[in-house]
Amino acid sequence: MQGIWTTARIRAAEDRLLAVTPDGELMRRAAFGLATQVAAVLAEGTGGVSGRRAVLLVGSGNNGGDALWAGAFLRRRGVAVTAVLLDPAKAHTAGLAALRRSGGRSVSAVDGPQWISRADVVVDGIVGISARGPLRPEAARLAGLVAAPVVAVDLPSGVDPDTGAADGPHVTATRTVTFGALKPVHALAPQECGVVVLVDIGLRPSLGEPDLYRLEPADIAAVWPVPGPGDDKYSQGVVGIAAGSATYPGAAVLASGSAVRATAGMVRYAGHAADVVRARWPEIVATGSVTDAGRVQAWVVGPGIGTGAEGREVLRHILGQGVPVCADADATTIIAHTPEVLDARDPDTPLVLTPHAGEYERLMGRRPGADRVAAAREAAAKYDAVVLLKGHCTVVAAPDGRVAVNQPHGSWLATAGSGDVLTGLVGSLLAAGLDPWLAAAAAAQVHSLAGALAAEDVPTSASGLVDAIPAALRLIRAVA
């Protein structure tokens, strides 16, 4: 798993490392890695490095210092470097001296626009991990003039380092070069960071356990159920799906189909859409009611079951079965409106909730807000459940505090029925006995990859997503 650390943890680790490292050494390591990446962006964009024009936007902290030192390294490769100093009196002294020694130019913000308009690449060294809030007006004005590719130093300035919130003027980068470790902004605001490149400055041993995680293909491949020679259809875990209605059978077909595609075990369906489900998926054992569905190792409940008395009884019955439950869509609303249904739950059985922002508001009485990690953690604690908070970057929090952030692959999942497919994936992994947090995080990742594969740059639909699950799993196994 890829680890992600909050900025407070990063700073504490940097302090420990700085105490045992020669002065300026860390910044030079960071800046050398940064310069290499800026040169790569120049080469990709213009076909060369020497003679190209780089403009550095330099703020008053060490982030600007990184940019200035990188400028000095780029001079050695023949790049024409101009530093635009937002606050000349406070620019990093050693960095500015190094740039000047190397033949680089520095100008004030007033003269910035003429250089920015001719740049082949712009380096955003305005602020780094110590800043909060949107860009100040002067920086915002200069950033707004940039047409060239932007390489952000550590993070795109104006985006919150710990929440990824970008609710005011900010930089949007082509590439972000970060140092020592990934920070939350990189996982939570990938659309602002562009390609994220991590430069090793020797920080890892000082960091300790991560605050957040991102699953890598190898993590998913390692836990995704694969039948062994001793397995039969029951031993791999049977998943039950309680979804859809006679009038709206779509949710039932999608959630069941997703479970069929996800693992090799058995899928049961219980509800008013049994005939439609059976017709589409002959391998599913379908019945009209959850009370005669037979044994399962996990239940998916909610999509399309309605929020009335019948839906409530279905949910109550399922919560009382003593097996893990993924409660989605209408089940979330029922729990929000009549939390006493949860009394039917054996406290030891895992529960996964999968709210989008609106459902979150019903569950918690407020919107998730800018800090989506904190929001998911709070809901996980309140409901003693794994909470998968949907969004461009889905956040999965466990009651024990573990948090995974999903890596999106475009926005193709914003399609009707997409959530039904996700819940089917979660249910199959719960039935296979996976830790519920891992099940939800792995399901989210496969779901977004399936979305990208189904779409291939044109819109897809939820049925397309179901069909792309095997391709997503194959790809994950191939790159793991």
Residues making up the annotated binding site for K(+) are 63, 124, 157
Minimum distance from CB of 64 to ligand NAX (Å)? 6
Considering the rule CB under 6 A, would residue 82 count as an interface residue with ligand NAX?
no
Q: Provide the 10 A C-beta neighbour count for residue 346.
A: 10
Considering the rule CB under 6 A, would residue 451 count as an interface residue with ligand NAX?
no
Residue 219 contact among K ion, ligand NAX, none, beta carbon within 5 to 8 Å by kind: none
Residue nearest to K ion (CB): 157
Concatenating the DSSP letter of every residue in 268-294 gives: EEESTTHHHHHHH-TTSEEES-GGGS-
Spatial distance between the Cα atoms of 352 and 439, rounded to a whole number of angstroms:
9
Q: Do the Cβ atoms of 395 and 389 come closer than 8 Å?
A: yes
Which residue in the set 14, 66, 124, 162 belongs to the binding site for K ion (CB under 5 A)? 124
Counting Cβ atoms within 10 Å, is residue 366 exposed (0-12), middle (13-18) or buried (19+)? exposed
Spatial distance between the Cα atoms of 29 and 75, rounded to a whole number of angstroms:
17
Backbone angles phi, psi at 147, to 5 degrees: -115, -20
**193 versus 450: smaller Cβ distance to ligand NAX:** 193
Spatial distance between the Cα atoms of 146 and 118, rounded to a whole number of angstroms:
9
Residue 412 contact among ligand NAX, K ion, none, beta carbon within 5 to 8 Å by kind: none
Backbone angles phi, psi at 113, to 5 degrees: -55, -40
**179 versus 281: smaller Cβ distance to ligand NAX:** 179
Residue 133 contact among ligand NAX, K ion, none, beta carbon within 5 to 8 Å by kind: ligand NAX
Which residue in the set 38, 98, 99, 127 belongs to the binding site for ligand NAX (CB under 6 A)? 127
Minimum distance from CB of 90 to ligand NAX (Å)? 6
Site for ligand NAX in 32-71 (CB under 6 A): 59-63, 66
Known binding residues are 62-66, 124, 128-134, 154, 157, 251, 304, 356, 390-394, 419-420
| Element of type H or E holding 3 | strand 2-4
Spatial distance between the Cα atoms of 136 and 144, rounded to a whole number of angstroms:
12
Which residue in the set 68, 80, 91, 139 belongs to the binding site for ligand NAX (CB under 6 A)? 139
Which residue in the set 9, 52, 75, 136 belongs to the binding site for ligand NAX (CB under 6 A)? 136
Ordered strands of the 150-153 beta sheet:
105-108, 80-85, 53-58, 121-125, 150-153, 175-179, 195-199
The residues binding K ion (CB under 5 A) are: 63, 124, 152-153, 157
The residues binding ligand NAX (CB under 6 A) are: 14, 18, 26-27, 30, 59-63, 66, 127-131, 133, 135-136, 139, 153-154, 179, 201
